[in-house]
Amino acid sequence: MTHPLRVLVADDDAAVRAVLRAILPADRYAVTEASSGDEALRTFGAAGADLILSDLQMPGMGGLELLRRVRAMDDTVGFIILTGAGTVENAVEALRLQADDYLVKPFNVDEVRLAAERAVSYRRLLRENRSYQAHLEERVAEQAGQIEVLLMDALRSLATAIETRDDYTGGHVERVARYAAATGREMGLRGEELRALWVGALLHDVGKIGVRDDVLKKPGPLTDEEYGEMKRHPEIGATIMERSSFLRPGLPAVLHHQERFDGSGYPYGLRGEAISLQGRIVAVVDTYDAIVSSRPYRNGSTCEHALEEIRRNSGSQFDPGVVEAFMRASDRGFPDDPDTPRLPEIVAAAAVG
């Protein structure tokens, strides 16, 4: 069953209010009366309305001021100005304040009914459009989040496959991504910057896809030729990242994670802040996890030893500022602090920004 539309009639003339009540069909409209603008505003504030018909000139608050205040409270309410002494200036001001119509007394039955129907129809469409837009935005955001999760799952699968080729016992790339995110937060990274760092850290070794197994898995020292092939993996990885707009923000970590702060790294021998911040962060966290991780041919070292090595190489292999941030992350319980966000939470926080 359709409920009658709530109509508030504001006029200081009781006869006019009675006429309007009679004009508006009772099965379509439930009419409430107010004898002044102040009373109408109180009534509207307490009970609301779908449509207001207001006299222009009333003692105290007039129709234009009532219109202004109602619009400030709810701009989806239909509002019709009624006047027996209208001017062009009043009409213009009423339209500027988004009145739905401006009727001059004496008015006829059809004129009032038609104006009322137009007003409530327009305001209903306005509410429906806003509701549609809100739900559409929610749906788009929900789908974007689902796509983000699927892409991140695919990246983690790819990173894990690369990790397996490199003889890590498991979890290396996810730990590197986690350590990188924690260090990045210590350095003030948020939103898209943090997300880009996470992606780059997760895929920092993606270029090893292009390195032969006999080189990648060789337990002993590499020959000069083999080492030259190994040194190509940052550039191979950067080429892979460049092909995807989704991956491209993490390209600096992939390309620069083997550079050294003193300029003795590869592939370009960059020095200091010529190395991207992503690259400088991943260089630290990757080395830390490499020291503590076990391989088939050796056991991992202790966290204390790894931290000591990181400190010892601050200023030569590593950016001192990044080392300080990494140590702060460690001091906060990193990497085993239960309050440290796990990867899905890092991604969600980065997406929100």
Determine the pLDDT at residue 100: 86
177-180-186 Cα angle (round to 5) = 145
Are residue 119 and residue 202 in the same domain, yes or no? no
Q: Is residue 151 part of a domain?
A: no
CATH of the domain at 86: 3.40.50.2300
Provide the domain limits for residue 286. 166-352
Are residue 246 and residue 324 in the same domain, yes or no? yes
Q: Is 2 left (phi over 0), alpha (psi -120 to 50) or beta?
A: beta
Determine the pLDDT at residue 1: 52
Are residue 217 and residue 301 in the same domain, yes or no? yes
Determine the pLDDT at residue 348: 46
Are residue 30 and residue 170 in the same domain, yes or no? no
Overall domain count for the chain: 2
104: helix, strand or coil: strand
Q: Is residue 140 part of a domain?
A: no
Q: Is residue 154 part of a domain?
A: no
CATH of the domain at 178: 1.10.3210.10
Q: Is residue 265 part of a domain?
A: yes
Kindly write down the DSSP assignment for every residue of 152-172, as one continuous string: HHHHHHHHHHHHHHTT--S-H
Longest dimension (CA), the chain: 104
Are residue 124 and residue 208 in the same domain, yes or no? no
Are residue 36 and residue 184 in the same domain, yes or no? no
Are residue 187 and residue 327 in the same domain, yes or no? yes
Are residue 239 and residue 318 in the same domain, yes or no? yes
Q: Give every strand in the sheet of 101-104, ordered side by side.
A: 29-34, 5-10, 51-55, 78-83, 101-104
Q: Are 283 and 260 in contact (CB under 8 A)?
A: yes
Last residue of a domain, one of 93, 113, 135: 135
Are residue 181 and residue 124 in the same domain, yes or no? no
Are residue 210 and residue 346 in the same domain, yes or no? yes
Q: Is residue 159 part of a domain?
A: no
Residues contacting residue 310 through CB under 8 Å, at least 6 positions apart: 284, 287, 288, 318, 323, 326, 327
Q: What is the pLDDT along the chain (353 residues), one digit of tens a residue?
A: 567 899 999 999 999 999 999 999 988 999 999 999 999 999 999 999 999 999 998 989 999 999 999 999 988 899 998 888 767 787 788 878 888 888 888 888 888 899 899 888 888 888 888 888 878 777 777 777 777 777 777 777 777 777 777 666 568 888 899 899 999 999 999 989 999 999 999 999 999 888 888 888 887 888 999 999 999 999 999 999 998 888 999 999 999 999 999 999 999 999 999 999 999 999 999 999 999 986 656 677 888 999 999 999 999 999 999 999 999 998 886 543 333 334 444 444 444 44
Determine the pLDDT at residue 327: 96
Are residue 117 and residue 244 in the same domain, yes or no? no
336: helix, strand or coil: coil
Determine the pLDDT at residue 168: 61
Q: Are 278 and 258 in contact (CB under 8 A)?
A: no
Are residue 172 and residue 130 in the same domain, yes or no? no
For the stretch 82-86, contacts whose Cβ atoms lie closer than 8 Å and that sit 24 or more positions apart, written own/partner, are 82/11, 82/16, 82/53, 82/54, 82/55, 82/56, 82/107, 83/55, 83/56, 83/57, 85/56, 85/57, 86/56
Residue showing tokens 């469409």: 125
Determine the pLDDT at residue 296: 57
Q: Is residue 147 part of a domain?
A: no
